Chain A
Amino acid sequence: MTGIGTSPPRPDGFAKASGAAVYADDLVRPGMWFGATVRSPHAHARLDGVRFAAERAPEGAVCLTAADLPGPNGILLIDDEWPILAAGTVRHVGEPVALVAAPSRLGALQAAAAVEAEYTPLPAVLTLEEAAAQATAQPTTQTTAHATPPATARPLLAECSLACGDVEAALAAATAVVEGTWSTGHQEHIYIECNAATAWVEDDGTVVVHGSMQCPYYVHKALVHALGAAPERVRVQASVVGGGFGGKEDFPSVIGVHAALLARAAGRPVRLAYDRHEDIVGTTKRHPAVVRHRTAVAADGTLLALDIDVTFDGGAYRTLSPVVLSRAVLHAFGPYRCPNVRIHGRVLATHTAPNSAFRGFGAPQTQFAMERQMDAVARRLGLDPLEVRRRNVVRPGDRLPTGQVLGESTAAEACLERAAARTGFQERWRALEREREGRADDSADGAPRRGIGLSLYFHGAGFTGSGERRMQSPVGARLLADGRVEVLTATTDMGQGCVAVFPQIAAAAGSLADDDVTFAPPDTARVPDSGPTVASRTTMIVGGTIARAVAGLSRRVVDWWQGEHGAGWQLADGTLRHPGGDAVPFRQAAREFLAAGGEGALEVRHRPPDWQEFDDATHQGSAYPVYAWGCDVVEVEVDPDTWAVRPTAVTAVCEVGRALHPTLCAGQIEGGTLQAVGWALTEEVKLDGGRYLNDRLATYIIPTARDAPRVSVELLEQPYEGGPFGAKGIGELPMDGGAPAVCQAVENATGIAVTAIPATPERLFAWAEGDRRREEVA
């Protein structure tokens, strides 16, 4: 059984697990050379010159600098201010200043070592605090990569605001005003497969890039811009993708352009594959954030006003920061009702690697802050974490601060109540509060300190605001000569499992058998631009469009068949049946349809719901057509000697509309939750003078199988009429909930107010010492 709601094995699973799948670094082209990237050792410097000492490089090796670029020196995303290669100025450690290619990997490294770059170091802005100080001291200046950039940093990369009601009046009138400042750090994606791409030039001049990516048409757009090539002379093929998490949303445009430039210069295929050190130093990360809250509350815990200031560290270039900030602001108020809300968000530049897309896209940072703020409100008012959320949780019909009125598929309360009931949260939390309060300060017993925490969260599915309306992204479907339906999308499977879910949708929507449907590989020469594989849009938006396309095509065949053979035929599971007893395989009918001159190709565009309107300037309206909802309960043990936090169990109750493939759907929740737990506890990018101290997996610490708590997932269903078979997008949802729940649990266990993550043992120790000293003084 492979229908909707069942969990057939993913079709790529065997090839992946047995080593047969071809990833970007596995593709061998005849005569292929290897590339390498020469990177800045400085956080901020004038680039005085780059010289290639060819005599020290392998014979024939090529070297490219900004001076050799055929077109504009910019990676085209929202804009093109991210340079392909540094020109005049370097703005972060690891910024590419030159590219080389040579016949072997070793030769490429030797060629890179033969590049001599001269720099004059300049003062650097390395932290959000320094950037904030500079932002207030200087007016906004913006530059493009083409002009000679000024030596100063450009402080403001993006800004946006959202407001409703009268915040000042509510703050003035409130029983209590609770203030909090919550910080989150960088996070590295650590997809297990590092970024890689291979490029070559076909005889007709077409530039082909084959690589690990989420968005083939982003790479295509960047190549057309950078090479000055005609769109039809650029072809992008996604390989099997070894993990993305947003890290392969925009960065493949960089490595793809680099590989293409080298292939042109070398006159042969060139593979550019990063090692882990280079991938950490040179690619994007999650934005570090500082979020300040002032919350007005009534005595019973009802939220009266939220005043929120969001500051993100954008790194050296704008990349996708404006849209990340937008999503961050649109989730900063959490799944709660509040009549008076004011949110101001900024992304500031620093001389560090650009920060950009990472699962959650800004929402995890602002929801971490909101959830911790709710905990602070609860403590102030003597409520427990469940109660304060119960009093404010949004329900169908409620209005968000954007003015959006929530529809039927609003299930925050169901998630909250189900998670609380499953875990006995309230009793357990109170019991552990009493246990902590009754405990002598000394840790002589050595017993772990136990704690439990809860978080409530939501995540908008699809592009923010008018994004989907602007794109109206198309999906193609066509009949093959053998009568099967081929579906054409640019969606890539980075592990999430659209290779399994799309066929389920297609077969069910078209009333076809599983093997009546096949999918074209994501190759821009074959598939339309169905949009990027991002923003929790794959199942809901692209999947929904696939459903309409396949249904439309199969209806076309059925209609024709009935025209030829009379009415009354029903198509089910790939067979046309007549009540009289006749049965004809769909494929046969389709072949006859084609032979009779029937039009076997169809393109269908995504149609956002008519009611969804959004003003991108004021952030008013329906930012997303629908949200997925979740509630996490996390239990932890804190070692009283070492302050090490061990999460022991997580219960995640998530409302997903409809679980089309429960195993893969739960897999997103399980994996995303552990990624959030890692972000909360151990994952930290450590910089010194802009230089990476932990650009290795030995020192950037993600959870192992021994660190992973049991993750128990319950999927709730409240079907959404705008998604295929009721499904919503859920890929990013789990990233929002893990961290605040972990921190509340640590607070429950230790009494330490966790205001920043990662909550490393070193930080917990420092906070505990601070608390102890304050008590001694008092």
Chain B
Amino acid sequence: MTAAPGGTAADAPRTLADACRRLGDDPNLVPVAGGTDLMVSDRLERSAVAGVLDLTRIPELTGVREVAGGLEIGAATPFAVLRSHPAVCRRFPALAAAAAVVGGWQIQSRATLGGNLVNASPAGDSLPVLLALEAVVVAAGPAGEREIPCAAFHVGYRKTALVPGELVARIRLPDPSPGSRQLFRKVGTREAQAISKVVVAAVGRVGGEGREGGVVESLRLAAGSVAATPVRLRAAEAAAVGKPWSPETARTRLAEEVGRAARGEVTPIDDVRSTAVYRAATLERVVRRLILDLGSPE
């Protein structure tokens, strides 16, 4: 791709700084990475776009890098890379699991983690994972870089905390505490190539002897498609942390309570994919299942 025979490949920015400068100079430029959301528009709409900012040729924006205490993922890294990246699979299996169910193979080869964030759909498959991992979004703009906690990134339905001229540069994933477990569950409209009706991620740890009984020492739960933005399920977390976990208590009380708490803190809607009541009930059952799985042997 470096041996570009065409003149215009050389026109694409090669550094993040250059990309930011160009966006500053021409705020009408449309940034495009995988294009899998942007391009779903009709010919009239597309013909009206005069200039784009190609984000696929900027080395800083792609790839997975080791940083102190975690990994950083370039915003333009496609899901196909995340799905099979050894460090991601080992340290962030929930993200790898989400990456493996974002559309089919063709979508995964193009769609990017940063794109999923910026498109800001409440159904974005990777977003509950980023919330549960307490990921940090590093944005770059005219004023330099700033860090935005993932929980503060989606400020409303399809709205992000980015200001004009800002791009998502990378996503920092802090390593979860040792011994914690990551779980991911997508309930889609079919087995594959589906948009989520409910999507849930959990990062947590049951201390002590998991099989015989222990305590939920930590839990971070997040869900998508159940509110205007992806949400952390803090009431459900609170209902779990500090509680004894055993296969028996989990089945009889704990999981029920956590599931119910989760259901109580979301505001799903009826839409073309599902109904509010189904989403609420399914969230409750999926959360219950994740709590049961949390302390069970892997």
- The answer on A and B forming one complex is yes
The 10 A-B residue pairs whose C-beta atoms are closest, nearest first, are: A706-B192, A706-B191, A641-B285, A762-B278, A693-B272, A707-B191, A444-B251, A701-B189, A109-B44, A699-B272
Are B272 and A694 within 8 A (Cβ)? yes
Chain A residue, CB-CB nearest to B188: A644
Chain B residue, CB-CB nearest to A275: B42
A110 contacts the other chain (CB 8 A): yes
Are A686 and B272 within 8 A (Cβ)? yes
B-contact 0/1 string along A660-704, CB 8 Å cutoff = 000000000000000000000010001000000110001101011
A-contact 0/1 string along B178-222, CB 8 Å cutoff = 000000000101111111011000000000000000000000000
B-contact 0/1 string along A36-80, CB 8 Å cutoff = 000000000000000000000000000000000000000000000
B10 contacts the other chain (CB 8 A): no
Are A641 and B289 within 8 A (Cβ)? yes
Q: Could you say which residues of chain A place their CB within 8 Å of the CB of B42?
A: 109, 275
Chain A residue, CB-CB nearest to B40: A698
B274 contacts the other chain (CB 8 A): yes
B43 contacts the other chain (CB 8 A): yes
A140 contacts the other chain (CB 8 A): no
B268 to chain A, nearest CB (A): 12
B282 contacts the other chain (CB 8 A): yes
Chain A residue, CB-CB nearest to B187: A642
Known: A109-B44, A699-B272. A704 touches B193 (CB 8 A): yes
Are A641 and B286 within 8 A (Cβ)? yes
Q: Could you say which residues of chain B place their CB within 8 Å of the CB of A275?
A: 42
Are B278 and A698 within 8 A (Cβ)? no
Are A704 and B190 within 8 A (Cβ)? yes
Q: Could you say which residues of chain B place their CB within 8 Å of the CB of A769?
A: 281
B 93-109 contacts with A by CB, 8 A: 104
Q: Of the candidates B44, B193, B288, which one forms a contact with A110 in the assembled complex, judged by CB atoms under 8 Å apart?
A: B44
Chain B residue, CB-CB nearest to A686: B272
Are B187 and A644 within 8 A (Cβ)? yes
B19 contacts the other chain (CB 8 A): no
A644 to chain B, nearest CB (A): 7
Q: Of the candidates A105, A694, A707, which one forms a contact with B43 in the assembled complex, judged by CB atoms under 8 Å apart?
A: A105
Q: Of the candidates A109, A110, A646, A762, which one forms a contact with B274 in the assembled complex, judged by CB atoms under 8 Å apart?
A: A762
Bound form: Cα–Cα A707–B192 in Å: 7
Q: Could you say which residues of chain A place their CB within 8 Å of the CB of B194?
A: 701
Q: List 14 A-B residue pairs with CB atoms under 8 Å apart, sorted by A's residue number.
A: A106-B43, A106-B44, A113-B44, A444-B251, A640-B285, A641-B285, A641-B289, A642-B187, A682-B189, A699-B195, A699-B273, A704-B104, A704-B190, A765-B278
B-contact 0/1 string along A102-139, CB 8 Å cutoff = 00011001100100000000000000000000000000
Bound form: Cα–Cα A275–B42 in Å: 10
A566 contacts the other chain (CB 8 A): no
A-contact 0/1 string along B254-289, CB 8 Å cutoff = 010000000000000000111101100110011011
Q: Could you say which residues of chain A place their CB within 8 Å of the CB of B292?
A: 444, 446
Bound form: Cα–Cα A105–B104 in Å: 29
Are B282 and A641 within 8 A (Cβ)? yes
B2 contacts the other chain (CB 8 A): no
A180 contacts the other chain (CB 8 A): no
B8 contacts the other chain (CB 8 A): no
A-B contact count (CB 8 A): 71
B47 contacts the other chain (CB 8 A): yes
Q: Could you say which residues of chain A place their CB within 8 Å of the CB of B272?
A: 686, 693-694, 699
Q: Could you say which residues of chain A place their CB within 8 Å of the CB of B277?
A: 765-766
Q: Could you say which residues of chain B place their CB within 8 Å of the CB of A761?
A: 197, 274, 278, 282
**Total residues of chain B contacting the partner, CB 8 A:** 30
Bound form: Cα–Cα A686–B273 in Å: 10
A 566-592 contacts with B by CB, 8 A: none
Q: Could you say which residues of chain B place their CB within 8 Å of the CB of A105?
A: 43
Bound form: Cα–Cα A765–B187 in Å: 14
Q: Of the candidates A106, A110, A703, A766, which one forms a contact with B190 in the assembled complex, judged by CB atoms under 8 Å apart?
A: A703
**Total residues of chain A contacting the partner, CB 8 A:** 32
Q: Could you say which residues of chain B place their CB within 8 Å of the CB of A641?
A: 282, 285-286, 288-289
Q: Could you say which residues of chain A place their CB within 8 Å of the CB of B193?
A: 704, 706
A443 contacts the other chain (CB 8 A): yes
B228 to chain A, nearest CB (A): 19
Which of A106, A109, A642, A704 has most chain B Cβ within 10 Å? A642
A 616-669 contacts with B by CB, 8 A: 640-644, 646
Bound form: Cα–Cα A769–B273 in Å: 20
Chain A residue, CB-CB nearest to B251: A444
A-contact 0/1 string along B4-35, CB 8 Å cutoff = 00000000000000000000000000000000
Chain A residue, CB-CB nearest to B45: A109
Are B44 and A446 within 8 A (Cβ)? no
Chain B residue, CB-CB nearest to A692: B272
Bound form: Cα–Cα A693–B274 in Å: 12
Bound form: Cα–Cα A446–B292 in Å: 10
Q: Could you say which residues of chain B place their CB within 8 Å of the CB of A703?
A: 190
Are A646 and B191 within 8 A (Cβ)? yes
Chain A residue, CB-CB nearest to B192: A706
Q: Could you say which residues of chain B place their CB within 8 Å of the CB of A446?
A: 289, 292
Bound form: Cα–Cα A699–B195 in Å: 8
Q: Could you say which residues of chain B place their CB within 8 Å of the CB of A701?
A: 189-190, 194
Chain A residue, CB-CB nearest to B194: A701
Bound form: Cα–Cα A769–B47 in Å: 49
Bound form: Cα–Cα A761–B281 in Å: 11
Bound form: Cα–Cα A643–B275 in Å: 13
Chain A residue, CB-CB nearest to B44: A109
Q: Could you say which residues of chain B place their CB within 8 Å of the CB of A682?
A: 189-190
Q: Could you say which residues of chain A place their CB within 8 Å of the CB of B282?
A: 641-643, 761, 765
Are B289 and A765 within 8 A (Cβ)? no
A106 to chain B, nearest CB (A): 5
Given contacts A446-B289, A765-B278, 11 further A-B contacts (CB under 8 A): A106-B44, A113-B44, A444-B251, A641-B288, A698-B195, A704-B193, A705-B192, A706-B192, A706-B193, A762-B278, A769-B281
A649 to chain B, nearest CB (A): 15
Which of B43, B274, B292 has most chain A Cβ within 10 Å? B43
Q: Could you say which residues of chain A place their CB within 8 Å of the CB of B189?
A: 682, 699, 701
B 57-109 contacts with A by CB, 8 A: 104
Are B190 and A109 within 8 A (Cβ)? no
Q: Could you say which residues of chain A place their CB within 8 Å of the CB of B191?
A: 646, 704, 706-707
Bound form: Cα–Cα A692–B286 in Å: 30
B133 to chain A, nearest CB (A): 23
A 705-744 contacts with B by CB, 8 A: 705-707
A 735-778 contacts with B by CB, 8 A: 761-762, 765-766, 769
Chain B residue, CB-CB nearest to A681: B190
Bound form: Cα–Cα A707–B190 in Å: 7
Q: Could you say which residues of chain B place their CB within 8 Å of the CB of A694?
A: 272
Bound form: Cα–Cα A698–B271 in Å: 13
A528 to chain B, nearest CB (A): 41
B221 to chain A, nearest CB (A): 16
Which of B44, B251, B285 has most chain A Cβ within 10 Å? B285
A 285-324 contacts with B by CB, 8 A: none
Bound form: Cα–Cα A643–B197 in Å: 12
Bound form: Cα–Cα A325–B112 in Å: 50
A503 to chain B, nearest CB (A): 36
A-contact 0/1 string along B42-54, CB 8 Å cutoff = 1110010000000
Q: Could you say which residues of chain B place their CB within 8 Å of the CB of A106?
A: 43-44, 47
Are B190 and A642 within 8 A (Cβ)? no
Are A642 and B286 within 8 A (Cβ)? yes
Q: Could you say which residues of chain B place their CB within 8 Å of the CB of A109?
A: 42-44
